[in-house]
Every structure is written in C-alpha cells, then in structure tokens.
Amino acid sequence: MAATPLLELRGIGKSFGPVQVLRDVGLSVWPGEVTALVGDNGAGKSTLVKCISGIHTPDAGTVLFDGREVSIGSPRDAAGLGIEVLYQDLALCDNLDIVQNMFLGREIRWGGVLDEATMEEMAGETLRNLSIRTVASLRQPVSRLSGGQRQTVAIAKAVLWKSRVVILDEPTAALGVAQTAQVLEVVRRLADSGLGVVLISHNMNDVFAVSDRIAALYLGRTAAQVKVTDVSHAQVVELITSGTSGRSGAPS
Amino acid sequence: MRAGPSQDDVRRNNLGGLLRYVHVNGATTRAELTTRLGLNRSTIGALTADLIGAGLVSEAAPRSAGRAGRPSLVVRPESGRVYAYALSIEVDRLRAARIGLGGRVLEQYEAERPPGMTADEAIQPLARFVATMRTGVPDGARCVGSGVAVAGMVRQSDGMVRLAPTIGWVDEPIGEALRSELGGYGRISVGNHADVCALAEHARGAAAGSDHVVYLYGDVGIGAGIIAGGRRVTGHGGYGGEVGHMVVNPYGRPCSCGSRGCWETEIGEHALLRLAGRADRTGRDEVLAVVDAAMRGDSQAQHALRQVGDWIGFGVGNLVNIFNPEVVIFGGTLRDVYLGAAAQIRSRLNAIGLPACREHVRLRTPELGTDAALIGAAELAFDHLLEDPLVS
C-alpha cells in the first residue's frame, strides 16, 4: 500500500449562511482502495463531494493531493488533478455512441479529421481492461444501453482519461440485481487497477461487497473512518445513526 | 549426494519460465522479459530463438515506438498454432473448447446434461465436440493435450471420478474413457472443477499476482480450489478442498454425503431456496430470483440471504484462519449470494477471523466468469508443456 493517501481532506468546514453543513471533516482516499462514504440524508456527503469537485469552496481546512496541499477552486481544478465525479444522472449524451461519448470534447484528430479507428480501439481496450464484456457494439447509441451498462461506460470514460480519483454517487441506485452486480464488479476493478475510488452508497451490502474503508459522516462531522476488516454491519449502522459505535471505539 | 542442476536443467527451467510468462501475461517486450525473469539480454534472445524454432512463440517489432532508441522486439504466444482441448462436465451441462496458448478461447461448444445422464452417455457428446473441432484446426497447428474439469472428486493419478454427488456418479473412470475415445492427441489430465477454476483465476483472473488463494465454487454443492505458495493444494490423492463438507453445525441437517451439518447444507442452493420458502425449485435462475426479491424488499428472501450470508462468513472465517489467503473468490452462484449478502459475510468473517489472518484478505468475485472452468482445464494440459517446452 502507498505511504500517503492520494487525496486527503483535513478539517474541512463549510457553511451556507447561518447553516454549518460541514464541521472539521476529514477523509483519506488511498490508491487501489475503495473508500465508502456513508451517512444519513443531510449528513453532508453531497456537500463534501462538491467541495472535492470544486463546485463549493470550503470555508476551512486543507486538501492534500499526493501529499501536496492544493486548492480546488473550480471543477476545472479538480479535473486537472484527475478527480472525476460520476453523478447518478451520468452526463452521457443519448444520441451519441459509446466511442463518441468516451471521447466527447477530447476527440483524437489525424490531420483535420477524426481518427475514428484509433478512438474505437482505445475505447475497446479500456472496456476490456475493466473486463466489461456486456457491451455488444461500441457503435450503438448509449440510449440503447441499460442503466448498468451506462454506468460502466461512464466509469470507463474516467479510466480512459487517466483520472486518479473517481467519486461515484449511488452508482447502483435504481438498478436491477444483475446490473448492480456488474457495476459493483467494475467499481472494484477500478480500484484494483490502482485508482482511488470513493463510493457513496446507502446500501450496506454494496458498501461491504467492494469497500476497503468506510468513512461515516454524522451531522456534518466525520464519525469515523474504519477499515472494512475491522467492523461489523451493526457497528457501521450505529455510526451512521448515532455518530459513535460502542464497540469500535472512539472516532478516529 | 545429488549433484547440482545440470546445464540442461537450467535451460529447460529458463525456457519454461519464459514461455509461462508470455502464456500468462500475453505479448511482452524482450526488455521486460529481461527484467522480469532476471536473465541477461543475450540469454533471453537465445531462449526466444529456441521457442520460435519450436513454434511456440513469435516475435515482431512493436507497432509504435514510444521512446527513442531501438525498439525492443515483442514476444507473443502462438495462440492460433498451439492449443489444448478443454472439457468440462458440470451438473447441468457439458462443455468443450479449443484453447490457444495464452489462454485464448478459440472455439467453444455446449450441450445440456439432463439429470441422471450416465458417464458413458456424457462421453459421447464430448467426443463429438472434439471431433468437430479437429476438422477445423489449421494446418501445422499443434495440440499439446487435453484437460477435463469435473464437478466431483477426481483421483489425480488416472482421472477416475470417485464421487460426484451433485452429478450422481460414483467411481466412473472418466480419464480412461476419454483416453480411449480421444486417443492419440496427447495426454489427458482430469481435475476438480473448483480446482481448475482456481488455476484459471490465479493465472489470468481475479487472483492474478496472488499466491495464496481460496476459490469457492457453489451451486448445489460447495467446493474449493486452494492455492498456497503459488501451488495447488490437492491433497494426497487429489481429493482435498472439499470445504462443502466441513461440519459447521453438528446439529444441522443431513447432508448428501451421509454426514450432518456440512457447510453446504447451510449455504448451498437448497438451503437458500428452502429458507426463502421456495424449496420446490432449484437452479441458478432461482438463486438470482431470491437475491432480486431481497433487493426489492421481500422480507423472507432478505431473511434467507442474511442467514446464508452469516453461515458463509463462518466457513470463510475458518478457511481464512487456516490458510491466511490474500484473496477469497466467490464463484458459481456464490458470486450472486456474496454481492447480495456481503454485509453479513464480512461481519461474521471479522468476528471469527483472527486479526492477523484476516487483515489483508480481499473478497472478490471471479473475472473470467463461466469460461474459468475451460481455461483452467486447458491450464492442466499446458502445464506439461510449460514444464519442458521443447520435449513433449
């Protein structure tokens, strides 16, 4: 395991007017690991992600990337560092095919024209490396894909563009059982290929199935960040609902 | 006193090492082989030339030179020219494939295996598949042998299937029968289904790079393929890994093996379906239906999945304490059960696994899917070639 986290947040605070949404939040994301971010509705998960992705600027605290302090003032800064956030609604264009979506805005040109062959090959290789075998043709419009397949295309896009930290917001919500399994496996492979992955989920099975660490937020604070080899389902539920867990000891 | 290895031994060992590397990792530059195998450049050149001479690998300039300087030649396995036949006898189907060096599935056939099908009846369709594949083999291609995976306990020495309770076979000489049926096409090795799946996932799947692996395969029964220190743990006669018959609940239900409270009576397909109130059904689709129902909020299905998950955690915790694996892989229908009950499985594992044994264990689902049995069966055949590439 690497000696330093890929992304580390320390003492993050964020208020909207009189409402303090985040207080002294810490989070470490290690390369090769899935870190689950769990918490009740309103615990501050979305706000925290928006602070990482440059949509909000935190009022307090520091952000370290690769051990260096950085400031993420805009989504462009986050993208420049290699931080990619995949939201539930997935920013894919329905009328474009898989290759076009994966290269949207970053098309490879050869002379003045698009180099379709190279792009198709790169897209195919990225999908293969993630062991995604369920997509029949790379040239079908994404409108024809199932929810799970769309999710995997969005993940593959992040891999293709050399993202280093990928944050997934409820990637299995609204999916059937077969597709949920498929997405979970891709999430796991994403981390196994060396990226830092943050998984936001309400589903404890999803969290335990693929995570290495679990960070629990409670009322805008970090209740604990624990390794999945050290906790039980009941303890995590306790952290989410009461902010402490008798058996797992004090907050870290 | 035994003398040290002879020059021939060293060369055979190096040839095997190089061939195994490209067989497992695919096309590799000579420069990378030099670093990975710890041999000097001229040795790699000479070994490669020998393997090219034997028609086992080919060499070509890389497509694009990424860096300045003379590009290093790329060595790749001759997947189209060197192949093995892989056969798989499973509870509900028979499969056959031709698999190229490097683990590439070149062609594949499948037939149903109706319940009650005898060993003699099963040999026929498999032999027909092989005969069909033979007609399509390109000129100059070379068969290195055949590997067979059977969902049962297989005697390592001659491929006798001693007991396959889920298939319903006792003492069936499958190895012998296939040898006389397919004869003349190299050695035939027979292995246990979970064992060869473990081999495949270890070579090129979810356990690649890990030398301590427990691969669990579940359907009606539960079996394990165990790899320790990079080698298969098969036991004295080849019957090891029968984790489905670890007794976890001495007061539990009777098992098909005659004992009581075996692990598979608590976590096998029948247990899940019984707990979900669907005891009259069987099969993979029915297991998926229970996981699906649980996700949609069916409380009886949720209860069934949690209870089975808890029992899975008990067994896995014991295995983790005994073998201290880096990876535990859940194959067959256990893959779906794992993804649907991971919270219970992990919680129980954490409760009974010793901290030092469990702290680095990764729980994974297979990467090769249903191809694992065929790819792994072919590994049995390729193993002979890799041990001594220029003879055999």
Shortest CA gap B203–chain A (Å): 15
Element spanning A104, H or E: none
The helix or strand, by DSSP H or E, that contains position A49, with its residue range, turns out to be: helix A45-52
pLDDT for B255 equals 92
Judge: A204–B343 Cβ closer than 8 Å, yes or no. yes
Which sequence spans correspond to the domains of chain B? 7-77, 82-197+371-387, 207-366
Digit-coded pLDDT (tens) for B359-384: 999 999 999 988 999 999 999 999 99
d(CA A211, CA A197): 9
> Rounded to a whole number, what is the distance in Å from the CA of B105 to chain A's nearest CA?
14
pLDDT tens digits, one per residue of B138-171 = 988 999 999 999 999 999 888 899 988 888 899 9
B131 contacts chain A (CB < 8 A): no
Mutate which: B305, B347, B354, vs A, most A CBs within 10 A: B347
Whole-number Å distance between alpha carbons of B346 and B355 = 13
Report d(CA A203, CA A245) in Å as an integer. 19
CB–CB contact A205 B288 (8 Å): no
CATH 3.40.50.1370, applies to B207-366 = no
Asked if the Cβ–Cβ distance from A231 to B350 is below 8 Å, we say: yes
Domain ranges (residues) in chain A: 7-242
Q: In chain B, whose CA is at the least distance from the CA of A192?
A: B206
In B, which residues are within 8 Å of A178 by CB distance? 288
Q: Does the distance separating the beta carbons of B342 and A177 come in below 8 Å?
A: no
What's the pTM? 0.91
Judge: domain B82-197+371-387, CATH 3.30.420.40: yes
Fold annotation for A7-242: Rossmann fold (3.40.50)
Q: What is the mean pLDDT of residues B214-218?
A: 96
Q: For residue range A192-247, list pLDDT tens digits in order.
A: 999 999 999 999 999 999 999 999 999 999 999 999 999 999 999 999 999 888 65
- Residue A77's closest CA among A61, A56, A94, A95? A56
Q: Is the pLDDT of residue A30 over 80?
A: yes
Vertex B282: Cα angle to B278 and B283 (nearest 5): 130
Asked if A229 and B335 come within 8 Å (Cβ–Cβ), the reply is no
CB pairs under 8 A between A and B: 59
Instruction: Please report the pLDDT score of residue A250 as a whole number.
Output: 43
pLDDT digits over B96-117, tens only?
A: 999 999 999 999 999 999 988 9
**Sequence-distant (≥ 6) Cβ neighbours of residue A212 within 8 angstroms:** A30, A33, A34, A35, A191, A227, A228
ipTM for the whole complex: 0.89
Query: Between A181, A207, A210, which is nearest B336 by CB?
Result: A181
State whether B347 and A232 contact (CB < 8 Å): yes
Interface residue B344 vs chain A (CB under 8 A): yes
Unique residue bearing structure tokens 């990928």: A166
Lookup: tokens for A223: 């209740």
Note the pLDDT tens digit of each residue in A42-82: 899 999 999 999 999 999 999 999 999 999 999 999 999 99
Range in A96-110, B218-232, B275-289, B319-333 with the lowest mean pLDDT: A96-110
Chain A residues whose beta carbon lies within 8 Å of the beta carbon of residue B25: none
> What's the CATH code, domain B7-77?
1.10.10.10
Greater pLDDT, A197 or B120: A197
